[in-house]
Amino acid sequence: MNALTLVIGNRNYSSWSLRPWMLLKHLGLAFDEVVLPLDTPEFGTQVAAWSPAHRVPVLADGDLRIWDSIAICEYACELAGRGWPRDAAERARARSLAAEMHSGFAVLRDTWPMIATARNRHTAMTPGLAAEVARIDAAWSQCRRDFGARGPWLFGAGYGVADAMFAPVVLRFRTYGASLSPAAAGYCENVLADPILGEWLAAAQAEPWVLAKYEK
Ligand SMILES: N[C@@H](CCC(=O)N[C@@H](CS)C(=O)NCC(=O)O)C(=O)O
């Protein structure tokens, strides 16, 4: 049994769960997992036993409970001593991007829900969706221009919180077939080749649950 327990939702649908899971794995932090299937009659009671916010993800470290994906990511970085760029200006950019993802892109999240293992789903393109895809493309492309020579991740060599926050977006872009610039598409390829993401996807593939409200 590990000191840390990460409580997550269905791997196919819980994009907020994927983010800290990816980061903890990349930072080499050992943790136990508890999966609470979303949209079941038991979910409310089960999640209440873990989180005062009644949402997943939640991280337990002994009696301490850390809820909300970004707070879990920050805690994991403190435990591991890495996860953000070391340079202050780069760290500020990474924090801006992570915060922009955590608080924004509502049209994208609503129109293109994460279905981790799905392909070839199609929805109508709207100006709002196109604008959010373009903003993400521009942000990733800028990072690749500035830091690509150092490594495959948004800020170069070290996988960080910004990468974790955008991991579900890469899956959405694959599922719904987003048109991306070569730089942004290259970043997606790096993310999709990551064996740690592959581990999540293999487990998602094996899940029995199909939630109609997310399936388009
Ligand atoms: N802001 C939260 C969002 C968490 C969230 O909305 N989680 C969803 C699953 S992805 C959830 O627990 N839904 C259950 C419910 O609303 O009953 C975070 O970043 O962790």
The per-residue pLDDT string of the chain (216 residues; one tens digit each, 9 = 90 and over) reads: 889 999 999 999 999 999 999 999 999 999 999 999 999 999 999 999 999 999 999 999 999 999 999 999 999 999 999 999 999 999 999 999 999 999 999 999 999 999 999 999 999 999 999 999 999 999 999 999 999 999 999 999 999 999 999 999 999 999 999 999 999 999 999 999 999 999 999 999 999 999 988 886
Three-state SS string over 8-52 comes to: ECCCCCCHHHHHHHHHHHHHCCCEEEEECCCCCCCHHHHHHCCCC
Q: Which protein residue's CA is at the shortest distance from atom 13 of ligand 1?
A: 55
What number does the ligand 1 atom closest to the CA of 54 have?
Answer: 12
What residues contact residue 81 under an 8 Å CB cut-off, 6+ apart? none
Q: What separation in Å is there between the alpha carbon of 15 and the centre of ligand 1?
A: 9
- Domain holding 26, by residue range, is 4-81
Q: Which protein residue's CA is at the shortest distance from atom 20 of ligand 1?
A: 68
CA distances from 158 to 44, 95, 139 (A): 37, 15, 18
Q: What separation in Å is there between the alpha carbon of 14 and the centre of ligand 1?
A: 8
Q: What separation in Å is there between the alpha carbon of 5 and the centre of ligand 1?
A: 17
204 lies in some domain: no
Same domain, 70 and 105: no
CATH code, 50: 3.40.30.10
Domain count, the chain: 2
What number does the ligand 1 atom closest to the CA of 67 have?
Answer: 20
Ligand 1 pocket, residue 35 CB under 6 Å? no
Same domain, 120 and 191: yes
96 lies in some domain: yes
